[in-house]
Structure 1
Amino acid sequence: MTYAQTIDYLFTRLPMFSKQGTSAFKKDLHNIRLLEESNGNPHTKFKTIHIAGTNGKGSTSHMLAAILQKAGYKTGLYTSPHLKDFRERIRINGEMIPEQEVIDFTRRIIPMIDKLDPSFFEITVAMAFQWFADAEVDVAVIEVGLGGRLDSTNIITPEISVITNIGWDHMNLLGDSLDKIAIEKAGIIKPGIPVVIGETLPETRPVFEKTAEEKQATLYYAEQLQQVVNWTYEDHRLNITVKENGREDAQHYELDLPGAYQVKNVRTVMQTIRLLQRAGWHIDEAAIHQGLASARKLTSLHGRWELISRNPDTILDVGHNEDGIRAILQQLELTSHTHLHLVLGMVRDKDISKVLSLLPRQATYYFTQAHIPRALPAADLQSVAAEKGLHGSVYADVNAALQAAKSAAGKKDLVLVCGSVFLVGEVNH
């Protein structure tokens, strides 16, 4: 098979959550265990850091990987979904998995695919673990796909487990209350393995404490241990001053991920790095500064308050759930612009009404949809939005909507594309 044929096979043969939704989600670790056994359990051959959470887990994963890479460690990074190229999901020191590796792994695993009928995600996890083991990475940062307890990545025993936060997302799969969602995320906590919690809520903290006590795992609350004493956002750069509890000096960091919501993620990253340092990992302050200042460049993270053009400023952001949209609204308050043009597309299984009720009525809307079965038809989105006082026209795809927005916008206006990871992935730029 060629690479194109291989990708076509993977996308069409395997159930894919991003396209189909809940029907593609396998609610146990049975398949991944069998896949790993058939490959010689490659996930046991390198160290890992495991990251779950409703929002921020992708940014946190990329920042940690960038710092570890700058510290001299050969660093794997597994994330999902991808925006443009399937290979974005699996990287070592920022470089995507080679096409030939994808071809060879898929060819070898076809008998197991025919036997188990695994999901697309299960196969991509197995592919990542195999490449990381073959390449002899020092450490791999592994982002949970969905939830935690039953996620295919949860076969690993990491050095540190990280849970960024708990919010409202995937309630149809994870539960209809914050404590139920927290139970699923807390499923990544392993016996005796330290846990970093980015943010807590009154409903979620008892869940973490109960699970950690049962597993005899020590909890570290980043929002208490890492204090952000100051931060500024200027010309699409973020400057943050962090003071660690018990230390007199504060550290100043500049980030090339400019979203104000990264302030929370940096606390989580810093607490994780401090635990690694205490465990004997050689990560100096220069590596931390360099990793944070060039995380996007080193790891090719896109779609996080990403400026793609000027006059008017045009921004891509993958925020798509209630908390993600709240973070975008906070960012908009920091961004000077005359008028907002919002290109919006969403998927069917989100709480669309709740998200739309948060969005500004004074913006001009351009409703569209991604080319996936899960996408909410743009006309349906327009109809629900109108009930919330949000008005605009319907466009066949995101690039048509974006072109219309840029044509209508003045030079000092702001054009924002958000609402779905898949919508952002289809933007041509």
Structure 2
Amino acid sequence: MIPRLDDYKKKWAVDSDLSIKPGLDAILEALEMLQNPEQKCSYVHVAGTNGKGSTIAFLEQIARNHGLKVGKFMSPCIVDVHDQLQINGKSITENEMDELFIQLKNAGLSGKLTDFELLTCAAFLYFSQQEVDLVLLETGMGGREDSTNVITPIVSIITSIALEHTRFLGSTIESIAKHKAGIIKENIPAVIGRLPQEAFQVIEAEAFAKHAPIIALGDHFDVTVDDTDVYTNDGKGLEINKLVRVLPGAHQADNMALAITAFFEVADYLKIPIEIDEIRNAVRMTSLPGRFEEVLANVYFDGAHNPASAEKLMETIKRQFPNEPIRFVIGMLADKDVKTVLQLLEQVSDEFYFVDFENERAMTSEKMMALSAASNVAVLTDYISFLENVSTKEGKTFVTGSLYLLTEIREQLLK
């Protein structure tokens, strides 16, 4: 469910299906009915298990610091459907969304698409009509059969590959890599993160078949993490030092490096000069909701919803707060590897509070608590009072698990 999308569907009598239906036939037909707005913009297409949002955040800020008007389509939302469509960091307005839905209705799209396909069509319309210079397009799930995979980008980015959405993408690293590899296009460069060997082989085979150059982290470019980061790019014969990040963790250094590398491709394509100081400024300015985000004093949001992201969160907590008490407030979807996530987080804390949240796929707090090996566990109902209370206590509290949970708690805090 996409918060507030139903408001527009009901207001303008545009029906769409809540289910997930991988495949491109429906959206290709719909886009043709809209006069193919997806063909009128320049894109960077981003897939990956983890790191998509952070990589896009770095890339958006770098592009904006170089004077570009940047559209961004991401999922899931932070608060509601409006923040999934942004231009230069500003969410689409209600009036702008009304205008899009009038066009979707008049084109005859009601009843033809899933919710995500409908929103993807709205995004293509919005960015084409607003004449943005660059669109950063995040896949919803997988890549090959994802509704965003109807464009030819300037560059494709695959940030990481781990087990996820196994019901739709398959139960092996290779099968998931096959889906992610689907965003690689003929003769279009692909910037690749640090991947398991079995995943990289799949990506490499796809790129070879499509004559797409691979630019791989740890091979063609790299980043050294210290008090300040150093980015190196052998292909460009370039080194950028004194890179200072707000987003902590070595994994965020990797995401930064992916973004910088992709921007070189964007700059070449759009024929704009690269300003190294503006890259430094952009890196320093980049932050992201739900990624080690301090929302109250000593209370952090981090959407670690699978083992790979939970491991990164655990490592970052160890590095940032080595001697402080840590507690977790957590809720997750039942189709995730909940037990492994808990085992990883239990390496830094023995205090867990489990919560229920509004999502039909959510695991109940009681079931989650039964999977935990921590000794200090409880089900939490009034999480707002709890978070306000612990913000004045010793230690750090992390709200984690599903991004849908973070969205719900954020909305309650804002109220």
- Asked if TM exceeds 0.5, the reply is yes
Q: CA–CA distance in 2 between the matches of 1:406 and 1:210? A: 51
- 2:335 maps to which residue? 349
Q: Which amino acid aligns with 1:201?
A: P
- 1:426 maps to which residue? 408
SS in 2 for 1:54: coil
Q: CA–CA distance in 1 between the matches of 2:391 and 2:277? A: 42
Task: Assess, with a 3 A threshold, how the Cα gap between structure 1 residues 364 and 101 changes in structure 2: closer, same or farther.
Answer: same
Shift of 1:10: 9.0
CA-to-aligned-CA distance 1:134-173 (integer Å, 9 cap, x gap): 0111111101110000000000000001100101111111
Does 2:383 correspond to 1:401? yes
Choose from 61, 76, 91 the match for 1:96.
91
Q: CA–CA distance in 2 between the matches of 1:193 and 1:154? A: 14
Q: CA–CA distance in 2 between the matches of 1:249 and 1:153? A: 34
Tell me which moved more, 375-384 or 273-282: 273-282
Choose from 350, 353, 357 the match for 1:363.
350
Tell me which moved more, 375-384 or 157-166: 375-384
Q: CA–CA distance in 1 between the matches of 2:157 and 2:375? A: 37
Q: CA–CA distance in 2 between the matches of 1:174 and 1:425? A: 25
- 1:304 maps to which residue? 291
Shift of 1:113: 3.7
**Preserved CA contact (<8 Å) 1:305 1:317:** yes
Does 2:102 correspond to 1:120? no
Q: CA–CA distance in 1 between the matches of 2:379 and 2:198? A: 39
- 1:236 maps to which residue? none
Does 2:258 correspond to 1:268? yes
- 1:412 maps to which residue? 394
- 2:81 maps to which residue? 86
- 2:16 maps to which residue? 14
1:382-393 to 2 correspondence within 5 Å? 382-385=369-372, 388-389=373-374, 391-393=376-378
Task: Assess, with a 3 A threshold, how the Cα gap between structure 1 residues 416 and 378 changes in structure 2: closer, same or farther.
Answer: same
Tell me which moved more, 336-345 or 132-141: 336-345
Q: CA–CA distance in 2 between the matches of 1:77 and 1:217? A: 24
- 2:307 maps to which residue? 322
CA-to-aligned-CA distance 1:72-99 (integer Å, 9 cap, x gap): 1111111111021211111111111121
- 1:61 maps to which residue? 56
Q: CA–CA distance in 2 between the matches of 1:278 and 1:138? A: 14
**Preserved CA contact (<8 Å) 2:296 2:391:** no
Q: CA–CA distance in 1 between the matches of 2:310 and 2:24? A: 32
Q: Which amino acid aligns with 2:231?
A: V
**Preserved CA contact (<8 Å) 1:63 1:292:** yes
List 4+ stretches of structure 1 deviating above 4 A. 7-13
Task: Assess, with a 3 A threshold, how the Cα gap between structure 1 residues 409 and 290 changes in structure 2: closer, same or farther.
Answer: closer
- 1:188 maps to which residue? 183
1:17-36 to 2 correspondence within 5 Å? 24-36=19-31
Q: CA–CA distance in 2 between the matches of 1:90 and 1:46? A: 15
Does 2:324 correspond to 1:338? yes
Structure 1 spans left out of the alignment, 5+ residues: 17-23, 233-238
Task: Assess, with a 3 A threshold, how the Cα gap between structure 1 residues 124 and 283 changes in structure 2: closer, same or farther.
Answer: farther
Q: CA–CA distance in 2 between the matches of 1:56 and 1:287? A: 22
Choose from 274, 277, 285 the match for 1:294.
285
Shift of 1:340: 1.1
SS in 1 for 2:178: helix
- Output the TM-score relative to the length of structure 1: 0.88
Task: Assess, with a 3 A threshold, how the Cα gap between structure 1 residues 10 and 402 changes in structure 2: closer, same or farther.
Answer: farther
SS in 1 for 2:352: strand
Shift of 1:264: 1.4
Q: CA–CA distance in 2 between the matches of 1:217 and 1:289? A: 29
**Preserved CA contact (<8 Å) 1:341 1:405:** no
SS in 2 for 1:114: coil
**Preserved CA contact (<8 Å) 2:41 2:133:** yes
**Preserved CA contact (<8 Å) 1:367 1:401:** no
- 1:168 maps to which residue? 163
**Preserved CA contact (<8 Å) 1:226 1:270:** no
Does 2:121 correspond to 1:135? no
Task: Assess, with a 3 A threshold, how the Cα gap between structure 1 residues 260 and 412 changes in structure 2: closer, same or farther.
Answer: farther
Q: CA–CA distance in 2 between the matches of 1:248 and 1:147? A: 33
- 2:276 maps to which residue? 285
SS in 2 for 1:371: coil
Q: CA–CA distance in 2 between the matches of 1:102 and 1:259? A: 36
CA-to-aligned-CA distance 1:8-61 (integer Å, 9 cap, x gap): 669995334xxxxxxx11121111111211111011011101000000011111
SS in 1 for 2:244: strand
- 1:252 maps to which residue? 242
SS in 1 for 2:198: coil
SS in 2 for 1:353: helix
**Preserved CA contact (<8 Å) 1:3 1:100:** no
Q: Which amino acid aligns with 2:274?
A: I
Q: CA–CA distance in 1 between the matches of 2:220 and 2:176? A: 24
Shift of 1:241: 2.1
1:233-252 to 2 correspondence within 5 Å? 239-245=228-234, 247=237, 249-252=239-242
Task: Assess, with a 3 A threshold, how the Cα gap between structure 1 residues 330 and 46 changes in structure 2: closer, same or farther.
Answer: same
Tell me which moved more, 86-95 or 400-409: 400-409
**Preserved CA contact (<8 Å) 1:342 1:364:** yes
Q: Which amino acid aligns with 2:358?
A: H
Q: CA–CA distance in 2 between the matches of 1:167 and 1:37? A: 34
Shift of 1:281: 3.4
SS in 2 for 1:132: helix
Task: Assess, with a 3 A threshold, how the Cα gap between structure 1 residues 12 and 376 changes in structure 2: closer, same or farther.
Answer: farther
**Preserved CA contact (<8 Å) 1:148 1:186:** yes
